[in-house]
């Protein structure tokens, strides 16, 4: 399957906030959420289309590896996007965001796009963190924000795709060095020859980025 | 597509039906009918496998009979059967996803045991997938990672077979340790760490005996190859164009070190022995340390080597490793590279060299496995394996992982990928292998020449020389810092070497080191010194550490240097540059242009000043210029008797109105309202710094002023943020004018005060009019006429304009060198006699205080002609505070006078004495030594450096 770009994401956040469920919900529509089944996955890939281009998203859950400093470090560095997830029904998961964010900022490359996600928005009755609080946190730290529900699939698609759009824009602006795979972005194996404007425009972008 | 397909599989589409034992039975039926994968049933099979996953997880959470059925019918065998049919990517990916989900979501231990019990999982692990497909590769390695997260003392037996010496999960995973895809490599590391973490002696013995040598030797080679690539990147760089790539390589090296450290801190002793041996004898010593000396035969540049070694010491704290490494660097000589020297380490046959492992990892694993079977008795441990490696070395040579050929055709794609990496490194290996005996040659040669030299230490110390640049010196300082802060290094070793040990009592310090450090500082204090601020800061840090006993722990106002962060920055690996266009942080490059030179000079001054104070054990009394605790704050209650207050209406931007009294203090304007209980007292409702204030008239209202006060900001580029923005409406236009004048005057005086304080700080003479301004208490009714404006105007230009600064400070007869009060008698007082080369050598062996001061002062007078012009050297002996008491720092302590008001609180007023508030008039007496006893509130001006005044003129 040919793609123009491959973006690598990581999902971070406290345990039990529903990271792997979000991931499965996004990467595999066939698993339909039902009330008596909680199901997730630690890795997934999916093709999306942005601006007429096929973009493959590869998402790695980092759960269970936090105890090794070398591992978290490397994961952050290899990703172009990060979904930082908390659980709107558990205040503590929201309180830990700062720590997560510090870690992410310290280890990732400065261009990494971070999206803040308040998950489990279906559990309105048990809500402990107001939507406004999430918005304020995101504004303060320059993140994109969204409330999602892996159970109802609400906003899940948007969360992943908006992050991809942001990355894509950064590529267009020449912020990301796409030839450097360490950034979590890979150019597709067969570059679409039909789209002749792409390589040219990229070259222009890069030149533009280089001189400032 | 899949959404639609579920309708025919799942019957009526009711989720209840899908998640049920009955549905699983139906799925089983589908599987039995479709044992062969064809194009026609592929979609059906994929959906069936997927549905089974879903039902199993649902069963694990809701209905245990589901699992019983799955096991009873041995449905896992169907999966394997499908897998083995080369059924294609689509089915493979689905199976791997299913397995991932299965093992990730199973919550019941028993369910997990069932799944693992019949060895099917191991069959899947060793299945030769098409690893050239990046998605299959990713799903596969995730699968292994998920499994490794389930490892514990019980489950490990499902994966590790003691009798057959098989541990597929581990051995299959490490084959991808150098996979080109970073996420795969990370997963492999995770798997290995999860394995090492399991405390199972049998398994760990197996790991050590059968896999440790192959894996670690390849790992070490892989790291070394990165290092050589990194070095090449530094060497071929032009104008910092390689920085992007370089920072990736540096980050990669850090990743490696963190990974090694993560292994070492699991603290599995015998695994650590093998790893330490390999790291020390096949990487750190032969590649890093050896490159510090021997110009012709070294493999990487010494500066790269120093940089990397600092990283090693900053990150790895495993005692046996770092202690041995430090011992060689600081104590050893080249004889460590001569084989059979009877060094404590004979594990690797005595030869320390950086060579490519004889075979690819895969082949080595295979070899050691067979060997294990045939000759378990004869070769029971890894040491012998090492010898065996040497034997096969000639044969395996530059083959570049040819051993991988044994694998089946479906794996070839993946093998190629791995081999590509190996092949690349092969080129390097050929280069290095030619040099194999160079270490020995050089070593032998050196031995005959010198009896007991310490070439590495000598190199390290000589690299501290900053005459041309501080390229090497910065790394040496980092290395020394890292070594002295390493938890793994024996403090005995440090003490023997007289290296700075933080937080410890000491009786001696290394004269050589102290002298070199001081030399770095004196170079840094040169106007055109090629020493970066980071280098200077580190030298100060190390000097303090060297000579100060105990933990002085003086809290610094500025953020302390984080050496670990500094050493993560790849940009310092390239030769020091002056241009800000590189985007390199100011402290890590040289200044560019006059403004930056001034900035640098100011920072140098502050650093040396604080060092001097600390070495002399004196408290900081002059900085920061504005201390928050001295300022009036909202809700303070003040005695306003004898103060000039102007009533006004404050109309804020959002329309809020309040009746307030405007008062002007030394540094601040404040808005007060009367205190209800005490007559003549007021409560502060707002206080802002005059220096951040803008006052303008209001167009159609002669009774009103518009006042904006910005938030104080240390960053000159930050957008000013207003904390007050309001119209002040007074009773009539006269009061309005008075208020405006009062504010303007207050502002001028606040500025003058600060300028005086800065002048005092820099040992610059105080202006004649000072007393009038500062010592309001006595004579201050003389209103500053035109002079302050001139003063103000000029001082604005001062830093860049020598003429202006002369004008400002001209009326003075003091000289920079005078300040070295404590040492004045020890060095030649004539400021003109010493040329720009500092004679630090003479003073450096003395006690700390005289050392630093003499170094600095020796050069101080020499460098700035402008300054000398304006300051005749004749009066070089001290003056300044003289007999008079020094100025107080607290602005709120200043007594009331015209035209400002005083806002004294009770407690402060008690401690005030008139004399303590008078600023010294220029007096010609000698500095009192020791300083006269003072009241607690009084503060001393310390005058550390004559160089100060010079610096500001640069």
With an 8 Å Cβ cutoff, is A70 touching chain B? yes
Q: Is the pLDDT of residue B551 over 70?
A: no
B245 touches chain A (CB under 8 A): yes
Q: Do A37 and B50 touch (CB under 8 A)?
A: no
B15 neighbourhood in chain A, CB within 8 Å: 32, 34
- Determine, yes or no, domain membership for A138: yes
Partner-chain residue, chosen from A41, A60, A177, that has the shortest CB–CB distance to B97: A41
pLDDT tens digits, one per residue of A115-151:
999 999 999 999 999 999 999 999 999 999 999 998 8
- Distance between CA B97 and CA B77 in Å, rounded? 17
ipTM of this model? Answer: 0.88
Query: A41 and B100 in contact by Cβ < 8 A?
Result: yes
Q: Is B50 an interface residue toward A (CB < 8 Å)?
A: yes
A39 vs B15, B57, B190: nearest CB: B57
Q: Looking at beta carbons, which residues of chain B come within 8 Å of A38?
A: 61, 105
Q: Which of A37, A41, A64 sits opposite B19 (nearest CB)?
A: A37
* R_g (Cα) of chain B, nearest Å: 38
Residue B593: is its pLDDT beyond 90?
no
Q: How far apart are CA B588 and CA B572, in angstroms?
A: 7
What pLDDT score was predicted for residue A135?
A: 95
In a domain, A106, yes or no: yes
Contact status of A23 with chain B (Cβ, < 8 Å): no
Contact B97 A28 (CB under 8 A): yes
Tell me whether A211 touches chain B (CB under 8 Å).
Answer: no
CA dist., res. B805 & res. B867, Å (int): 9
Candidate from A29, A75, A181 with C-beta closest to B186: A75
Contact B182 A37 (CB under 8 A): no
Please answer yes or no on whether A180 and B248 come within 8 Å at the CB atom: yes
In a domain, A97, yes or no: yes
Helix, strand or coil, per DSSP, at residue B218: helix
Contact yes or no for B204/B212 (Cβ under 8 A)? no
Instruction: Give the residue numbers spanning the domain of A126.
Output: 3-185
B186, B250, B267, best to mutate vs chain A, most A CBs in 10 Å: B186
- Residue A24: list chain B partners with CB under 8 A: 101
Q: Hey, of A20, A35, A68, which one would you mutate to test binding to chain B, going by the most B CBs within 10 A of its CB?
A: A68
Q: Is residue A204 part of a domain?
A: no
* Nearest-CA distance B647 → chain A (Å): 39
Tokens 């039975």, located at residue: B25
Mean pLDDT lowest for which of A163-172, B118-127, B504-513?
B504-513
In a domain, residue A210? The reply is: no
pTM: 0.71
What's the mean pLDDT when you consider all of chain B? 71
d(CA B918, CA B774): 7
CATH number of the domain where residue A48 is located? 3.40.50.300
**Res B432 pLDDT > 80:** no
Does the beta-carbon distance from A30 to B19 stay under 8 Å? no
Decide if pLDDT at A195 tops 80.
Answer: no
The kind and range of the H/E element at B708 are strand B701-710
pLDDT of residue B710: 85
CB contact under 8 A, A39 and B54: yes
- B258 inside 8 A of chain A by CB: yes
Alpha-carbon span B559 to B160, nearest angstrom: 51
B186·A20 Cβ contact <8 A:
no
Using the Cβ of A94 and the Cβ atoms of chain B, whether some distance falls under 8 Å is answered with: no
Residues belonging to chain B: 954
Contacts of B149 in chain A (CB under 8 A): 64-65
Can you list the pairs that B777-780 forms with residues at least 24 positions away whose Cβ atoms lie under 8 Å?
A: B777/B894, B777/B895, B777/B897, B777/B914, B777/B917, B777/B918, B778/B914, B778/B918, B780/B897, B780/B898
Residues of B in contact with A180 (CB under 8 A): 244-245, 248
Indicate the DSSP class of residue B36.
S
pLDDT on residue B191: 94
By CB neighbour count within 10 A (0-12 exposed, 13-18 middle, 19+ buried), where does B829 fall? Answer: middle
- Across A40-67, average pLDDT: 89
Looking at domain B636-761, which CATH architecture does it have? Roll (2.30)
pLDDT in tens, A108-117: 888 899 999 9
How far apart CA B499 and CA B645 sit, in angstroms, is: 62
Question: Which residues on chain B are in Cβ contact (under 8 Å) with A68?
Answer: 189-190, 193, 262
Q: How many domains does chain A have?
A: 1
Q: Is B254 on the interface with A (CB under 8 A)?
A: yes
Closest to B255 (Cβ–Cβ): which among A37, A43, A73? A73
Percent of chain B with pLDDT over 90: 16
pLDDT digits (tens, 9 = 90+) for B60-99: 888 888 888 888 888 888 888 888 887 788 888 989 998 9
| Length of chain A in terms of residues written | 212
Name the range with the highest mean pLDDT among B5-9, B623-627, B937-941: B623-627
Query: Which residues of A are less than 8 Å from B100 in CB distance?
Result: 41-43
Residue of higher predicted confidence among B928 and B330: B330
> Where exactly are the structural domains of chain B?
17-118, 210-340+352-368, 464-616, 636-761
Q: Phi first, then psi: give them for residue B523, nearest 5 degrees.
A: -65, -40
Q: Quote the pLDDT of residue B850.
A: 36
Chain A hits for B3, Cβ within 8 Å: 29-30
Q: Which residue is closest to B241 within chain A, CA to CA?
A: A210
Residue A152 lies in a domain: yes
pLDDT at residue B916, as a whole number: 34
Residues of B in contact with A42 (CB under 8 A): 100, 104, 142, 145-146
Q: Does B253 touch chain A (CB under 8 A)?
A: no
Which token pair is A200?
A: 């040219």
How far is CA B838 from each of CA A87, B57, B355, B418, B843, rounded to the nearest angstrom? 64, 77, 47, 57, 10
Overall average pLDDT of the B156-179 stretch: 92
CA distances from B937 to B109, B772, B887, B888, B913 (A): 70, 22, 10, 8, 10
> What pLDDT is stored for residue B177 in this prediction?
93
Q: Is B149 on the interface with A (CB under 8 A)?
A: yes
Q: Look at residues B186, B454, B152 and name the one whose alpha carbon lies nearest to residue B331.
A: B454
Count of CB atoms situated within 10 Å of the CB of B42? 17
- Radius of gyration of chain A measured on its C-alpha atoms: 17
pLDDT at B528: 83
Spatial strand order of the sheet with B701-710 comes to B637-639, B681-689, B668-674, B657-664, B646-652, B722-730, B701-710, B693-698
Q: For residue A54, tell me if it sits in a domain.
A: yes
Q: How many CB pairs under 8 A join A and B?
A: 106
Burial readout A162-184 (b: 16 or more C-beta within 10 A, e: otherwise) = bbbbbbbebbeebebbbeebbbb
Candidate from A28, A40, A64 with C-beta closest to B149: A64
Question: Does residue B393 have a pLDDT over 80?
Answer: no
Tell me what pLDDT residue A209 has: 34
Question: Measured between CA atoms, how close is A45 to chain B, in angstroms?
Answer: 8
Contact (CB<8Å) A180/B54? no
- Residue B624: DSSP 8-state: S
């Amino acid at each position: 399957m040919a793609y123009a770009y491959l973006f690598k994401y990581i999902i971070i956040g406290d345990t039990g906030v529903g990271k792997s469920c979000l991931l499965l919900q996004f990467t595999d529509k066939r698993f339909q959420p039902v009330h008596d089944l909680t199901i997730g996955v630690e890795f997934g890939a999916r093709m999306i289309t942005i601006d007429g281009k096929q973009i493959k998203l590869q998402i790695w859950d980092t759960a269970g590896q936090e105890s090794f400093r070398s591992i978290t470090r490397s994961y952050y560095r290899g990703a172009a996007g990060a979904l930082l997830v908390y659980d709107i029904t558990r205040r503590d998961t929201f309180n830990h965001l700062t720590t997560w964010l510090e870690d992410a900022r310290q280890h990732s490359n400065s261009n990494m796009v971070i999206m803040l996600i308040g998950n489990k928005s279906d559990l309105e009755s048990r809500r402990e963190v107001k939507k406004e609080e999430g918005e304020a946190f995101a504004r303060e730290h320059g993140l994109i924000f969204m409330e999602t529900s892996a159970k109802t699939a609400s906003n899940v698609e948007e969360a992943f795709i908006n992050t991809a759009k942001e990355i894509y824009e950064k590529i267009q602006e020449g912020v990301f060095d796409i030839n450097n795979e360490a950034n979590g972005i890979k150019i597709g194996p067969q570059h679409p020859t039909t789209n002749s404007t792409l390589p040219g425009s990229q070259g222009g972008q890069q030149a533009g980025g280089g001189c400032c | 597509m899949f959404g639609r397909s579920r309708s025919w599989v799942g019957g009526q589409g009711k989720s209840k039906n899908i998640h049920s034992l009955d549905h699983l039975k139906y799925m089983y039926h589908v599987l039995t009918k479709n044992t062969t994968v064809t194009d026609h049933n592929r979609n059906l099979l994929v959906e069936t496998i997927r549905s089974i996953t879903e039902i199993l997880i649902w069963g694990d959470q809701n209905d245990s009979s589901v699992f019983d059925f799955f096991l009873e019918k041995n449905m896992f065998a169907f999966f394997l059967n499908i897998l083995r049919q080369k059924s294609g990517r689509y089915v493979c990916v689905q199976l791997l996803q299913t397995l991932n989900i299965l093992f990730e979501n199973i919550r019941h231990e028993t369910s997990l045991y069932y799944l693992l019990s019949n060895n099917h999982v191991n069959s899947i692990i060793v299945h030769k997938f098409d690893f050239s497909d990046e998605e299959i590769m990713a799903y596969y390695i995730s699968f292994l990672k998920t499994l490794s997260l389930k490892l514990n003392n019980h489950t490990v037996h499902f994966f590790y077979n003691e009798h057959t010496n098989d541990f597929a999960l581990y051995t299959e995973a490490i084959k991808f340790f150098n996979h080109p895809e970073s996420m795969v490599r990370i997963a492999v590391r995770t798997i290995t760490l999860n394995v090492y973490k399991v405390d199972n002696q049998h398994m760990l013995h197996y790991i050590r005996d059968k896999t440790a040598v192959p894996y670690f030797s390849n790992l070490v080679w892989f790291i070394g190859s990165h290092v050589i690539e990194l070095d090449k990147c530094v060497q071929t760089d032009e104008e910092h164009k390689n920085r992007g790539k370089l920072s990736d390589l540096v980050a990669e090296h850090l990743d490696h070190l963190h990974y090694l450290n993560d292994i070492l801190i699991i603290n599995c002793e015998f695994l650590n022995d093998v790893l330490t041996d390999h790291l020390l004898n096949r990487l750190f010593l032969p590649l890093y340390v050896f490159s510090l000396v021997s110009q012709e035969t070294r493999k990487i540049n010494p500066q790269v080597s120093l940089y990397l070694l600092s990283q090693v010491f900053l990150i790895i704290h495993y005692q046996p490793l770092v202690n041995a490494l430090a011992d060689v660097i600081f104590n050893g000589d080249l004889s460590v590279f001569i084989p059979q020297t009877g060094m404590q380490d004979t594990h690797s046959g005595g030869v320390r060299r950086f060579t490519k492992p004889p075979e690819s990892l895969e082949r080595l694993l295979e070899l050691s496995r067979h060997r294990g079977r045939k000759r378990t008795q004869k070769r029971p441990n890894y040491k012998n394996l090492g010898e065996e490696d040497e034997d096969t070395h000639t044969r395996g040579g530059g083959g570049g992982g040819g051993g991988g050929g044994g694998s089946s055709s479906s794996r070839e794609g993946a093998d190629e990928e791995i081999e590509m990496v190996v092949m690349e490194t092969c080129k390097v290996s050929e280069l290095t292998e030619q040099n194999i005996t160079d270490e020995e040659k050089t070593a032998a040669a050196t031995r005959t020449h010198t009896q007991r030299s310490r070439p590495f230490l000598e190199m390290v110390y000589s690299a501290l020389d900053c005459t041309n640049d501080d390229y090497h010196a910065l790394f040496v300082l980092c290395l020394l810092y890292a070594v002295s802060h390493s938890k793994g290094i024996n403090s005995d070793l440090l003490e023997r070497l007289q290296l700075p040990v933080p937080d410890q009592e000491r009786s001696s310090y290394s004269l050589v080191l102290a002298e070199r450090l001081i030399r770095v500082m004196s170079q840094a204090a040169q106007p055109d010194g090629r020493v970066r601020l980071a280098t200077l800061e580190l030298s100060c840090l190390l000097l303090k550490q060297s000579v100060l006993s105990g933990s002085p722990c003086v809290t610094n106002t500025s953020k302390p240097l984080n050496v670990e962060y500094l050493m993560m920055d790849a940009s310092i690996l390239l030769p020091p540059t002056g241009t800000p266009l590189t985007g390199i942080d100011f402290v890590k490059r040289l200044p560019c242009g006059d403004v930056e030179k001034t900035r640098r000079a100011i920072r140098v001054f502050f650093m040396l000043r604080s060092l001097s104070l600390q070495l002399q054990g004196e408290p900081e009394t002059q900085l920061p210029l504005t201390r928050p605790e001295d300022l009036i704050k909202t809700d303070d209650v003040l005695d306003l008797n004898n103060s000039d207050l102007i009533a006004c209406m404050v109309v804020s931007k959002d329309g809020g109105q309040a009746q307030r009294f405007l008062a002007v203090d030394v540094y601040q304007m404040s808005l007060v309202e009367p205190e209800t209980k005490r007559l003549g007292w007021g409560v502060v409702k707002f206080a802002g710094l005059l220096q951040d204030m803008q006052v303008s008239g209001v167009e159609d209202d002669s009774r009103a002023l518009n006042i904006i006060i910005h938030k104080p900001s240390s960053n000159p580029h930050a957008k000013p943020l207003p904390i007050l923005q309001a119209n002040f409406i007074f009773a009539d236009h006269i009061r309005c004018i008075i208020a405006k004048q009062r504010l303007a005057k207050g502002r001028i005086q606040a500025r003058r005060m600060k300028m005086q304080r800065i002048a005092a700080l820099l040992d610059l003479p105080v202006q004649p009019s000072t007393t009038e301004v500062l010592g309001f208490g006595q004579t201050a009714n003389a209103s500053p006429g035109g002079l302050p404006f001139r003063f103000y105007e000029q001082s604005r230009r001062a830093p860049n304009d020598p003429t202006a600064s002369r004008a400002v400070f001209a009326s003075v007869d003091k000289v920079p060198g005078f300040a070295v009060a404590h040492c004045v008698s020890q060095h030649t007082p004539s400021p003109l006699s010493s040329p720009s080369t500092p004679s630090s050598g003479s003073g450096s062996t003395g006690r700390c205080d005289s050392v630093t001061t003499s170094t600095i002062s020796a050069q101080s007078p020499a460098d700035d002609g402008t300054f000398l012009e304006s300051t005749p050297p004749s009066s070089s002996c001290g003056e300044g505070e003289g007999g008079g008491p020094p100025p107080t720092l607290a602005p709120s302590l200043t007594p009331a006078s015209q035209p400002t008001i005083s806002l004294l609180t009770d407690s402060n007023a008690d401690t005030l004495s008139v004399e303590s508030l008078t600023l010294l008039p220029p007096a010609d007496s000698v500095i009192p030594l020791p300083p006269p006893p003072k009241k607690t509130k009084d503060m001393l001006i310390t005058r550390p450096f004559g160089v100060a005044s010079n610096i500001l003129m640069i």
